[in-house]
């Protein structure tokens, strides 16, 4: 005795991920203010136009340490902004793939629903079988009655 079935011929390989791995907090750049500036070097002085300063410009004069931290803020902000844009593009692709899978799923569901629809004969088979049974039963009964009447004569 042999059983025949339909099954996968081997282990099915998992779907390969085509998008980059998602970003995690550990991969983000360090905060620019992670290292504190010593109080002696933590100063900023407003400079008005016409005041005597080394290069003659007006604005805010910062200590070198504070200026370095401000520059790191700018660099890290730009880096985080780029990571955010990459993340947005990645999620956009993920959404596109997800929507394609949903559309394919809906199409397959509709195809299976149409394949599962019953034909007219399947819907009316019980009534059809009862009708045939009544006709055949009546014919057999009439045949038996006719045969019995012939035997009696």
Separation CA 38–CA 41 (nearest Å): 5
| pLDDT band at residue 16 under the 50/70/90 scheme | low
Rg (CA), the chain: 42
Give residues with Cβ within 8 angstroms of 62, minimum separation 6. 43, 44, 70
Separation CA 121–CA 129 (nearest Å): 10
* pLDDT tops 90 at residue 142: yes
* pLDDT tops 50 at residue 49: yes
CB 63 within 8 A of CB 43: yes
CB 61 within 8 A of CB 44: yes
Among 4-8, 29-33, 67-71, 106-110, name the one with the lowest average pLDDT. 4-8
pLDDT number for residue 89: 86
Comparing 21 with 87, the larger pLDDT belongs to: 87
Dihedrals φ, ψ of 45, to 5°? -125, 130
Tens of pLDDT, residues 72-128: 888 888 888 888 888 888 888 888 888 899 999 999 999 999 888 888 888 888 898
């Amino acid at each position: 005795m042999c059983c025949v079935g339909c099954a996968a011929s081997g282990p099915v390989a998992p779907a390969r991920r085509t998008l980059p791995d998602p970003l995690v907090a550990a991969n983000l750049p360090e905060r620019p203010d992670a290292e504190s500036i010593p109080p002696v070097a933590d100063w900023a002085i407003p400079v008005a136009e016409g005041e005597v300063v080394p290069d003659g410009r007006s604005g805010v004069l910062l200590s070198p340490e504070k200026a370095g931290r401000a520059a790191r803020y700018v660099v890290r902000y730009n880096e985080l902004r780029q990571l955010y844009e990459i993340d947005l593009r990645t999620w956009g692709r993920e959404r596109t793939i997800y929507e394609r899978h949903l559309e394919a799923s809906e199409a397959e569901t509709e195809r299976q629903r149409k394949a599962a629809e019953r034909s007219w004969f399947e819907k009316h088979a019980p009534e059809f079988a009862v009708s045939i049974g009544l006709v055949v039963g009546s014919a057999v009964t009439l045949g038996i009655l006719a045969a019995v009447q012939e035997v009696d004569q």
